[in-house]
Structure 1
Amino acid sequence: MDWLEDTRRSYDTVAVSYADMLRDALAGEPFQRGILGLFAELVRAAGNGPVADVGCGPGRITSFLRGIGLDAYGIDLSPGMIDVARSDHPGVCFEVGSMTSLDVADASLTGLLAWFSLIHVPDDEVPAALAEFHRVLRPGGVVLLGFHLGEDSRLKTEGYGGHPMNVYVHRRRPERVAGWLEAAGFTVEGELVHRPAPDVAGAFLFAKTPNR
């Protein structure tokens, strides 16, 4: 799949500059910290256990989750990002992998986070990724998806210091993503929209796998 290789190559290229630019960003984002804190509460209520940060990039969110008590580890498509994550956060587990084919055992996770990592996945591939998320979560497991709010897609040709990139950024409506989650077998429990600037909006969906 060309989009996978384009995404991998693009984030390998920007890995160091991306990490440098966003390393301390959460310190100025009380809404995002609160959203991640709610996710942590839901994971604890589901019995605690392993949490995968899928599309973890340089590991800043994974590290935050561990700092608030979750047994979190990171997975990313980009080996360059994983190298930075391991350097920045020694002692935390980070693995190279694709969300469309996770090397994770069935029903082995209590939580799964996809923090603005579905944004490069084409519409026709999202159901496969969400099916993987459902497969690896335990009954009653929690998923949190964060994504750009909107209805358009644009080609990103450079970023994070002007480095070349070749990835599409897909903006989506919460109801559309919720429909995909429900089709994958999840129950959507919450939706939040954050507007940090007049022309910037992110959406967050909380969902669970059925208890069996």
Structure 2
Amino acid sequence: MSDPKTIAIYDDRAAEYAGMTDQYNTTDPRLVAFIAACPEGGRVLDLGCGPGAAAARMAEAGLAVDAVDASAAMVEMAARHPGVTARHATFDDIAGEALYDGIWANFSLLHAPRTDFPRHLSGLHRALKPGGVFLIGLKLGKGEARDRIGRLYTYYTEDDLMDYLRAAGFTPTDIKHGQGEGLDGTVSPWISVIAHG
């Protein structure tokens, strides 16, 4: 994420966001499946970690967690969790090859402009170990727009997302749909995909 307005909103409303999401993020069935798909003691990346609730759950399960976020306020909150190494970084800061057994990109890459999305996915595929697990969550729809509080979103259809994932080298294996209320109060449909590198 590199949109300054979106980052500023997360900085300003980090505590409110944590209050809305922490409880669900620690019990999310998708997170349970992601953890189970990673090897014991494996190294994982939480991309766009927010307040760190999911990263904390991964650490509790024995995974070595690298948590990153473009919001300094979110990084500060995530770093308070035992076992979580949190740092300030954007999507473009993820580099390296075959570093991670798993990458958790749960509702983070939806803030990247569509033109940057293929580059980000390719970089994450390189950073993932062969056969590693990748989870991505996005809001369903078309186009790019700002929400009621000014955050930039890029929306995807399921077919579009599958095409992008396969083009980057991922093999989608599990797809789930749902809907949820965002920080702006809007209920939106979403898609969550587990894939392998």
TM-score by length of 2: 0.86
Aligned length: 192
Name the SS of the counterpart of 2:153 in structure 1.
strand
Name the SS of the counterpart of 2:104 in structure 1.
strand
Partner of 1:95: 87
Instruction: Tell me, yes or no, if structure 1 residue 140 matches structure 2 residue 131.
Output: yes
Q: Name which of 23, 32, 42 aligns with 2:37.
A: 42
**Offset at residue 26 of structure 1 (A):** 3.7
The higher radius of gyration belongs to 1
Q: In the alignment, is the contact (CA less than 8 A) between 1:121 and 1:170 conserved in 2?
A: yes
- For structure 1, the 5+ residue unaligned runs are 159-165
Partner of 2:194: 206
Partner of 1:150: 141
Cα deviation, 1:149-194, whole Å, max 9, x if unaligned, reads 2224331252xxxxxxx32222221221111111111122221112
Partner of 2:184: none
Call closer, same or farther: CA 1:196–1:146 in 2, change over 3 Å: same
**Offset at residue 78 of structure 1 (A):** 1.1
Call closer, same or farther: CA 1:21–1:134 in 2, change over 3 Å: same
Q: In the alignment, is the contact (CA less than 8 A) between 2:47 and 2:104 conserved in 1?
A: yes
- For structure 2, the 5+ residue unaligned runs are 182-186
Return the letter of the residue paired with 2:162: A
Partner of 1:25: 24
Q: Name which of 173, 184, 192 aligns with 2:157.
A: 173
Name the SS of the counterpart of 2:13 in structure 1.
helix
1:123 and 1:154 mapped to 2: Cα distance? Answer: 11
Aligned-residue RMSD, C-alpha: 2.3
Q: Percent identity, aligned pairs only?
A: 29
1:145 and 1:91 mapped to 2: Cα distance? Answer: 23
Call closer, same or farther: CA 1:79–1:150 in 2, change over 3 Å: same
